Amino acid sequence: MRRAMERLTRGVARASERAMRGANGGTREPVSAVRAGAVTAVVTGTAASAIVAGGASAVACAGESESKNARAATEEKSDGGKGIGKGETKTPTVVFVLGGPGAGKGTQCANIVRDFAFVHLSAGDLLRAHMKSGSPEGNMVAEMIKQGQIVPSEVTVNLLLDAMRASGEDRFLIDGFPRNKENRDAWENTAGFDCDFVLFFDCPEDVMTTRLLGRNEGRSDDNIETIKKRFVTFRESSLPVINYYEKLNKVCTVNSDQSPEDVYAQTKGFFSKFA
Ligand X SMILES: Nc1ccn([C@H]2C[C@H](O)[C@@H](COP(=O)(O)O)O2)c(=O)n1
Ligand Y SMILES: Nc1ncnc2c1ncn2[C@@H]1O[C@H](COP(=O)(O)OP(=O)(O)OP(=O)(O)O)[C@@H](O)[C@H]1O
Q: Known binder of ligand: residue 150?
A: yes
Cα 44 to the center of its chain, rounded Å: 22
Other C-beta atoms closer than 10 Å to the C-beta of 168 total 15
- Which one of residues 91, 93, 156, 253 is an interface residue with ligand X (CB under 6 A)? 156
Q: Known binder of ligand: residue 71?
A: no
- Which one of residues 40, 57, 78, 259 is an interface residue with ligand Y (CB under 6 A)? 259
Q: Under the criterion CB under 6 A, does residue 211 sit at the interface with ligand X?
A: no
Q: Under the criterion CB under 6 A, does residue 83 sit at the interface with ligand Y?
A: no
Question: What is the biggest distance separating any 2 CA atoms in the chain, rounded to whole angstroms?
Answer: 50
Q: Under the criterion CB under 6 A, does residue 25 sit at the interface with ligand X?
A: no
Q: Specify the amino acid at residue 230.
A: R
Which range of residues in 36-44, 62-70, 103-111, 154-162 is near ligand Y by CB under 6 A?
A: 103-111
**Contact indicator for 141, 151 with CB cutoff of 8 Å:** yes
Q: Looking at beta carbons only, is 51 or 142 nearer to ligand X? A: 142
- Distances 33 to 48, 100, 127, 155 between C-alpha atoms, Å: 9, 9, 22, 23
Q: Under the criterion CB under 6 A, does residue 176 sit at the interface with ligand Y?
A: yes
Q: Under the criterion CB under 6 A, does residue 205 sit at the interface with ligand X?
A: no
**Contact indicator for 257, 64 with CB cutoff of 8 Å:** no
Pick one of ligand Y, ligand X, none as the site partner of residue 104 (Cβ within 5 to 8 A by kind): ligand Y
Please state, in angstroms and rounded to a whole number, the distance separating the CA atoms of residues 231 and 17.
30
Q: Which residues are annotated as a binding site?
A: 102-107, 128, 149-151, 176-179, 183, 215, 219, 230, 258
